[in-house]
Amino acid sequence: MEIPERGAAIRLDCDVLVIGGGTAGTMAALSAAEQGAQVLLLEKAHVRHSGALAMGMDGVNNAVIPGKAEPEDYVAEITRANDGIVNQRTIYQTATRGFAMVQRLERYGVKFEKDEHGDYAVRRVHRSGSYVLPMPEGKDVKKALYRVLRQRSMREKIQIENRLMPVRVLTEDGRAVGAAALNSRTGEFVVVGAKAVILATGPCGRLGLPASGYLYGTYENPTNAGDGYSMAYHAGAELSGIECFQINPLIKDYNGPACAYVANPFGGYQVNAKGERFVDSDYWSGAMMTEVKNEIESARGPIYLKVSHLPDETLTALENILHTTERPTRGTFHANRGHDYRTHDIEMHISEIGLCSGHSASGVWVDENARTTVPGLYAAGDLACVPHNYMIGAFVYGDLAGSHAASTLAEVTAPQHLPEDQIAEAHELIYRPLRQPDGPPQPQVEYKLRRFVNDYVAPPKTAAKLSLAVQTFERMRDEVAGIGARTPHELMRALEVTFIRDCAEMAARSSLTRTESRWGLYHERSDLPQRDDVNWRYHLNLRKTSAGGMEFLKRPVAPYFVPVPGLDDLPSADDTVIPVTEPAAVAGKAPATASSRVTAAAVTEPPSPRIAAVLALEAPTIEQLAEFLSDPNAGVRRTAVDALTESLCDGWGPALIAALSDEDGSVRRVAADGIRELVEVLPDPASATALLESPDPVVRGGVVYLLSARKVGEAGLYRTALRDRDHRVRIEAVRALVSVDDGVGVAAAVSDDNREVRIAVANGLGTLRDGIEVVRKLVADPDPLVRAAALAALGDVGCGEPDLGAVEQALTESAWQVRQGAVRALAGATPSAAVPSLSRALADPHLDVRKAAVLTLTRWAASESAARDTLTGALDDGDADVRAYARRALSSQR
Ligand SMILES: Cc1cc2nc3c(=O)[nH]c(=O)nc-3n(C[C@H](O)[C@H](O)[C@H](O)COP(=O)(O)OP(=O)(O)OC[C@H]3O[C@@H](n4cnc5c(N)ncnc54)[C@H](O)[C@@H]3O)c2cc1C
């Protein structure tokens, strides 16, 4: 391709420029537009399926739902997780606005798990607080957002340009006034003038090299190459905590998340090769990652996510989440190795390092309105320094950035002339590789760069290795500048390597400058292993000087408004910023050879022309979809139903319900999935009632679910469904009867042939705290898993004198699930009856039974000295989880 003339640049103008159309960016665009701003949203991929949300959201990691958790507790939790180096005000925004955001997303059609009474089914994954809110259809979040972006009212306000990749933020007199960009399909040069610029380009996921060696096989979405970190730096903004890396547990060789958030509430846990649980610290800390790494490298490694002990039904439920919502390739990966959760536990590893605030704390410094230190420039999402902000934090900060930017428009003049010198530099940066097409290709240089990141920057860090890293990345400036390219796509890849190099240099220099260890593995300096709360009770910020160098600042931690015992000495009332000098390098030159292990992407078959025709419809109408919905080929009809649920065009509801009667089972299944996904927004749900007569149980089950979730069915219908010939429909019917508080109806299924239905009955009666006689009958059920569920229900319904004999008997059964159920039953007994039995249960050989005993005892830790004494005994338990829960129960009573 030819280098386009700089003077022929395409000029675009807007009020608010949003860079990156992922989680934070789409929300920023929507909020700015709702407040009247003309928005330009630039995305280097395609907004419909770009970013972290495109796949893998199994739940909200950090939802603070009223009645389930308190914002102040969440702030304290994150302060602890981040070893005290936080601006609590920024975290408080996520804590207090996250719930409204969940409700807003729900209005967009995103589905969150609810119990039979319609309350959010928040789960406890961390040792303290319940913050995890599952999203049964999490794979469709991006679809829902894109639908809203494409509504007419938003289309008029938001111009979306896909495949347009900004490379530099333009500034005038220190204020952000636009950006310079490459069109990665046409190669055109584009400049944008804007009154405000929002960076939402996600983390730097391509910093370290994954263990597989594949450049794009990263934990993070690989298009997130640190573009925004680099753009913010060159625009003069401060970045913070860049030495505090992101490192996550993941599946060995698959590089997908291990998903303890999903598996742990189902009874999964992490073990070493000897079968011992070893994680002593809480889930969202770098300290946990130190434990994981040490265990893998010890004689007790490798480590596993243990699931093979779980009952078949639980594993099926787990697979339904992990192999669909989480990632479809995950099931294929295990299957190709001949592994099944029933026979194999999941080998785990740790990820490559990255920069990310969403899972850790490294980002562009922002205040509680997402403002950076450069006027007119905002940052939101994984690249903004708000620790452990995850998905809901990205949405909240996108909203804050968009709203604040829109509120400033009246005071800001639209830029007329954009800075020519900066445009010239950006033009040179973008098109330089075309002048040297035979220069080293991007994959080789990128591989080499990132291997050095692994060698010299990944923990454990030392001054010697970090010095070599700084020298290496300086040297590699020229190698990166020498990359050759021939096409617009290759230009984009070459640019990404410049961003990765910038991030690598920032990571190395920050790690060298923070002369202590903190945040567990994230900043483990093996030459300086101690935390230094005197000299390093500061954020370490960096920025670009006017001379082009990098300078460092210590910013004091702002006073906490939520006290956190043990860390309260860190904040300072004095907010003076202290310059700090990067230590001198202490090592010689590094070796410099590398070779590529990257293989060409496999050629995939194009989809059939009719399917391609459906997919090509940008904003399909029901009239356009009609011919595909009645196509003779089932694959085309399936795709059309998918398009229907993605577009939600006028008339989608009746068409989706009609598809439930399709002659092909796979089409009906997609339609039933759609009904479940869109349960909150499906118009006229009662019109599906007739389909309770469908010959397909998938349809009948879906309809019962729909009627119950939308509260448009009544108990009579559900009682009829309880007699359905398919047990899946009967399970839905039990849950529906619970939702209308029909305990008698639920009890009618007590003698159902299918044990899953009987388990649902036990669980349902526990929820309703009703039906003690029926629960007692189930306690004597021949199936151990039913007995386990019934015993657990006794804990809610009440475990009186007549039940204690059966509970004692259950505590001696061979199935650990029954013993665990018996321990839970004792939660409904008086403490004088329960504590002696629980004390004996603490000697149970199965760790889940002992853990359940500790959790049951926790409720009496404040009032009963016998319970406290028993918990004190558990502090010496051989299992880390049991010890940790006992410690927490006792410390919260002090
Ligand atoms: C595998 C995985 C699983 C996760 N699971 C959960 C979970 O279950 N629950 C939870 O709460 N959180 C989860 N998270 C975290 C959560 O997804 C993120 O915190 C959040 O989505 C980050 O949003 P973002 O907008 O910053 O980044 P993204 O959503 O990734 O968006 C960044 C966008 O910027 C675009 N972009 C990048 N550079 C440029 C450029 N130069 N020009 C234009 N566009 C650009 C990218 O293409 C992308 O679309 C998970 C993250 C990962 C990676």
Is 598 or 705 the better-scoring residue by pLDDT?
Answer: 705
| Distance (Å) from CA 851 to ligand 1 centroid | 35
| Distance (Å) from CA 91 to ligand 1 centroid | 19
Mean pLDDT of 694-706: 95
State which of 114-123, 133-142, 327-336, 548-557 shows the largest mean pLDDT. 548-557
**Whole-structure pTM value:** 0.82
Mean pLDDT of 223-249: 97
Complete DSSP assignment for 574-594:
----EEEPPPPP---PPP---
Dump strand ranges (E) for 257-376: 269-272, 303-306, 346-350, 363-364
Q: What is the pLDDT of residue 129?
A: 75
- Measured CA to CA in angstroms, residue 240 lies from 297, 345, 485, 512 at distances of 31, 39, 33, 14
In a domain, 581, yes or no: no
Q: What is the pLDDT of residue 449?
A: 98
Ligand 1 atom closest to residue 54's alpha carbon, by position in its atom list: 29
3-state helix, strand, coil in the chain (%, to 5): 45, 10, 40
For residues 824 and 531, give the distance between their C-alpha atoms in angstroms, rounded to a whole number: 41
**Is pLDDT of 598 > 80?**
no
Q: Is 664:637 a contact under the CB 8 Å cutoff?
A: yes
Please tell me if the CB atom of residue 713 comes closer than 6 angstroms to any atom of ligand 1: no
Q: Which of 132, 182, 201, 284 has the most ligand 1 atoms within 8 A of CB, as the residue to mutate?
A: 201
From the CB of residue 369, how many other CB atoms can be counted at a distance below 10 Å? 15
In a domain, 303, yes or no: yes
Q: What is the pLDDT of residue 278?
A: 82
Mean pLDDT of 537-559: 96
Q: Which of 360, 391, 493 has the most ligand 1 atoms within 8 A of CB, as the residue to mutate?
A: 391
In a domain, 775, yes or no: no
Please choose, from the candidates 101, 91, 109, 4, the residue with its C-alpha nearest in 3D space to the C-alpha of residue 656: 109
Structural domain range at position 263:
249-350
Please tell me if the CB atom of residue 41 comes closer than 6 angstroms to any atom of ligand 1: no
Please tell me if the CB atom of residue 98 comes closer than 6 angstroms to any atom of ligand 1: no
Is 67 or 176 the better-scoring residue by pLDDT?
Answer: 176
Q: What is the pLDDT of residue 3?
A: 96
Please tell me if the CB atom of residue 179 comes closer than 6 angstroms to any atom of ligand 1: no
**Is pLDDT of 591 > 60?**
no
Ligand 1 atom closest to residue 52's alpha carbon, by position in its atom list: 30
CA torsion sign, 14 to 15 to 20 to 24?
negative
Average pLDDT, the chain: 92
Please tell me if the CB atom of residue 498 comes closer than 6 angstroms to any atom of ligand 1: no
Dump strand ranges (E) for 253-341: 269-272, 303-306
| SS3 of residue 824 by DSSP | helix
**Is pLDDT of 189 > 80?**
yes
In a domain, 342, yes or no: yes
Please tell me if the CB atom of residue 84 comes closer than 6 angstroms to any atom of ligand 1: no
Ligand 1 atom closest to residue 380's alpha carbon, by position in its atom list: 26
Residue nearest (by alpha carbon) to ligand 1 atom 45: 20
Please tell me if the CB atom of residue 166 comes closer than 6 angstroms to any atom of ligand 1: yes
State which of 142-156, 310-324, 438-452, 604-618 shows the largest mean pLDDT. 438-452
For residues 254 and 31, give the distance between their C-alpha atoms in angstroms, rounded to a whole number: 36
Mean pLDDT of 182-186: 97
Q: Which of 31, 57, 105, 204 has the most ligand 1 atoms within 8 A of CB, as the residue to mutate?
A: 57
Q: Which of 135, 139, 221 has the most ligand 1 atoms within 8 A of CB, as the residue to mutate?
A: 221
Q: Which of 46, 164, 382, 502 has the most ligand 1 atoms within 8 A of CB, as the residue to mutate?
A: 382
Read off the pLDDT band of 284 (50, 70, 90): low
Residue 138: which residues within 8 A CB-CB, separation 6 or more? 56, 57, 58, 59, 325, 326
| CATH number of the domain bearing residue 264 | 3.90.700.10
Q: What is the pLDDT of residue 880?
A: 87
Please tell me if the CB atom of residue 200 comes closer than 6 angstroms to any atom of ligand 1: yes
| Distance (Å) from CA 23 to ligand 1 centroid | 6
For residues 41 and 164, give the distance between their C-alpha atoms in angstroms, rounded to a whole number: 9
Read off the pLDDT band of 320 (50, 70, 90): confident
Q: Model confidence over 726-777: pLDDT tens digits?
A: 999 999 999 999 999 999 999 999 999 998 999 999 999 999 999 999 999 9
Instruction: Name the β-bridge partners of 579.
Output: 553
Q: Model confidence over 475-500: pLDDT tens digits?
A: 999 999 999 999 999 999 999 999 99
Q: Is 144:110 a contact under the CB 8 Å cutoff?
A: yes
Torsional class of 226: left (φ above 0), alpha (ψ -120 to 50), beta (otherwise): left
Q: What is the pLDDT of residue 775?
A: 96
Q: What is the pLDDT of residue 595?
A: 60
Question: 450 — phi, psi (to 5°)?
Answer: -80, -25
Q: What is the pLDDT of residue 893?
A: 58
Ligand 1 atom closest to residue 394's alpha carbon, by position in its atom list: 23
Q: How many domains does the chain have?
A: 1
Q: What is the pLDDT of residue 508?
A: 98
From the CB of residue 173, how many other CB atoms can be counted at a distance below 10 Å? 7
In a domain, 256, yes or no: yes
CA torsion sign, 54 to 55 to 58 to 60?
negative
For residues 678 and 86, give the distance between their C-alpha atoms in angstroms, rounded to a whole number: 38
In a domain, 658, yes or no: no
**Is pLDDT of 249 > 50?**
yes
Q: Is 365:233 a contact under the CB 8 Å cutoff?
A: no
Read off the pLDDT band of 60 (50, 70, 90): confident
Q: What letter does residue 861 receive in the DSSP assignment?
A: T
Ligand 1 atom closest to residue 42's alpha carbon, by position in its atom list: 43
How large a percentage of the chain has pLDDT more than 90?
78
**Is pLDDT of 229 > 80?**
yes
Dump strand ranges (E) for 512-604: 538-544, 550-556, 578-580
**Is pLDDT of 590 > 60?**
no
Please tell me if the CB atom of residue 538 comes closer than 6 angstroms to any atom of ligand 1: no
| Distance (Å) from CA 194 to ligand 1 centroid | 24
ω before 565 within 30° of 0 (cis)?
no
Complete DSSP assignment for 435-476:
G-TTSPPHHHHHHHHHHHIIIIISSSB-HHHHHHHHHHHHHH
Mean pLDDT of 618-627: 93
Q: What is the pLDDT of residue 874?
A: 93
Please tell me if the CB atom of residue 205 comes closer than 6 angstroms to any atom of ligand 1: no
In a domain, 311, yes or no: yes
For residues 520 and 287, give the distance between their C-alpha atoms in angstroms, rounded to a whole number: 4
Q: What is the pLDDT of residue 403?
A: 98
**Is pLDDT of 404 > 50?**
yes
Instruction: Name the β-bridge partners of 303.
Output: 272, 348
Residue nearest (by alpha carbon) to ligand 1 atom 2: 56
In a domain, 454, yes or no: no
